[in-house]
Homo-oligomer: A and B are copies of this chain.
């Protein structure tokens, strides 16, 4: 057992020894952060996604998140991505982590409906179709292959890699892929709303699998096929990046239950990455009573620990941020992974308190508060 001591800002679920081994190897080293943006028309089905003020606006959330991260303002839409009720995108925390750590960051375009007006790595993908078509993602292998090359490129230049996603509707597609692969037999995925529309999601997944002629578990050995049928274009890009990078450097898989499909896919296709990857997320996601990342990871059944950041907004003066404590948002845009990465890169010098202070500063700037 390594004698690495976890800072109070971080907690671990799963194999603590593996987590500490990876953390100790990347501690104080140079990391890089990527956020893969993508769309699936599935998010425009009313009720599926709250990652946007209206179902139509969920199409703009990923590119707007990308613009916010890179240029500090949004061009493709007015204002910043919010959930109904005005709760701000978790990109606010991501920006705080990146600014405090000085970690370089890049946008990956897995396949967006609207291309963000910032530089991004193009993966040759396009916006995903409704999963109910059973033909949800085009060019899956090409996206995966480009992702693999990108992972190799990043591993050549940095000591560890943090990946993440912004893909509205992504928990529904994750549930579909995990079901097609036989990893999940029940609906354990999360929602950016405390009122997780579980029945609707399960119904859409069943329709998608039926349209594809796939029964649960049929595609246990073919994650790319499962993604082609009922996934989204974020998935093959991120599976590729992990696979290309994690044979040489540690990879932090930033995100919530959406990343379940990515993790299940990569450990099936590339078991050699096990021991060099962990999920990086938030205590909000881990404490969600309406989903269970822990159970999803147990169902995947590989040695992939979860390292989560103990950021707490309960003392925030802003209701929009307090809402995170009430079960809204919880994850997204790699807010957990980038926070974990910032703590790693600075050998623990970035603390939860420093992150919250920085989020307040960014939030005030964006909202035009004094």
Cβ contact of A119, chosen from B105, B118, B119, B149, cutoff 8 A: B149
Is A290 interfacial (CB 8 A cutoff)?
no
Whether A122 contacts B115 by the Cβ 8 Å rule is: yes
Q: In the complex the two chains form, is A106's CB within 8 Å of B153's CB?
A: yes
What's the nearest-Cβ distance from chain B to residue A342, in Å? 14
- On whether the beta carbons of A102 and B156 are closer than 8 Å, the reply is yes
A71 CB-CB contact with B under 8 Å: yes
A348 contacts chain B at the CB level, 8 A cutoff: no
Q: B115 to A149, Cβ gap below 8 A?
A: no
CB distance from A241 to the nearest CB of B (A): 9
Q: How many residues of A contact B (CB 8 A)?
A: 27
A104 interface contact, C-beta 8 A: yes
A123 surroundings in chain B (CB, below 8 A)? 119
Tell me whether A60 is interfacial, beta carbon within 8 Å: no
The smallest beta-carbon distance between A138 and chain B, in angstroms, is: 15
- Interface readout for A88-130 with B: 1 if CB under 8 Å, 0 if not? 0000000000000010111011000001011111111000000
- CA A117 to CA B102, docked complex, whole Å: 31
Give the docked Cα–Cα distance between A153 and B157 (Å).
14
**Of B70, B108, B121, B149, which is within 8 A of A149 by CB?**
B70
Quick check: is A32 within 8 A (CB to CB) of the other chain?
A: yes
Chain B residue contacts of A105, Cβ below 8 A: 153
Please indicate the chain B residues that have their CB under 8 angstroms from the CB of A156 in the complex. Answer: 102, 104
Any B CB within 8 A of the CB of A176:
no
CA distance A104 to B118 in the complex (A): 21
CB distance from A224 to the nearest CB of B (A): 17
- Give the distance to chain B from A145, nearest Cβ to Cβ, in Å: 8
Given the known interface contacts A156-B104, A157-B104, the answer about A121 and B119 at a Cβ–Cβ threshold of 8 Å is yes
Q: Is A146 an interface residue (CB 8 A)?
A: yes
Q: Is the CB of B124 within 8 A of A115?
A: yes
Chain B residues within an 8 Å CB radius of A202: none
Q: By the criterion CB–CB under 8 Å, are A142 and B121 in contact? A: no
Q: For A106, what are the chain B residues with a Cβ–Cβ distance below 8 Å?
A: 153
Q: With a CB–CB cut-off of 8 A, which chain B residues contact A102?
A: 156
Identity of the chain B residue whose Cβ is nearest the Cβ of A156 in the assembled complex: B104
Q: How far is the CA of A123 from the CA of B203 in the complex (A)?
A: 40
Q: Which residues of B contact A150 (CB under 8 A)?
A: 119
CB pair B122–A146 under 8 Å, yes or no, is no
Report the separation of the CA atoms of residues A122 and B145 in the bound assembly, to the nearest whole angstrom: 17
Residues on the B chain within 8 Å of A108, using CB: 119
CB distance from A112 to the nearest CB of B (A): 11
Our pick among B71, B109, B115, B124 for the contact of A117 (Cβ within 8 Å) is B124
Quick one: CB contact mask for A31-57 with B, threshold 8 Å, 1 for yes? 010000000000000000000000000
Task: Name the residue among A32, A108, A157 with the largest chain B CB count within 10 angstroms.
Answer: A157
Instruction: Closest B residue to A146 by CB, please name it.
Output: B119
Q: A32-B157, A156-B102 are in contact. Are A146 and B117 (CB under 8 A)?
A: yes
10 closest Cβ contacts across the A-B interface?
A104-B157, A119-B150, A122-B122, A119-B121, A119-B146, A119-B149, A118-B149, A104-B156, A70-B149, A71-B149
* Given A102-B156, A119-B149, A119-B150, 13 further pairs, Cβ under 8 A: A70-B153, A104-B156, A104-B157, A109-B122, A115-B122, A115-B124, A117-B142, A119-B123, A119-B146, A119-B147, A120-B122, A121-B122, A122-B122
13 contacts between A and B (CB under 8 A): A32-B157, A102-B156, A104-B156, A104-B157, A105-B153, A108-B119, A109-B122, A117-B142, A119-B122, A119-B146, A119-B150, A119-B153, A121-B122
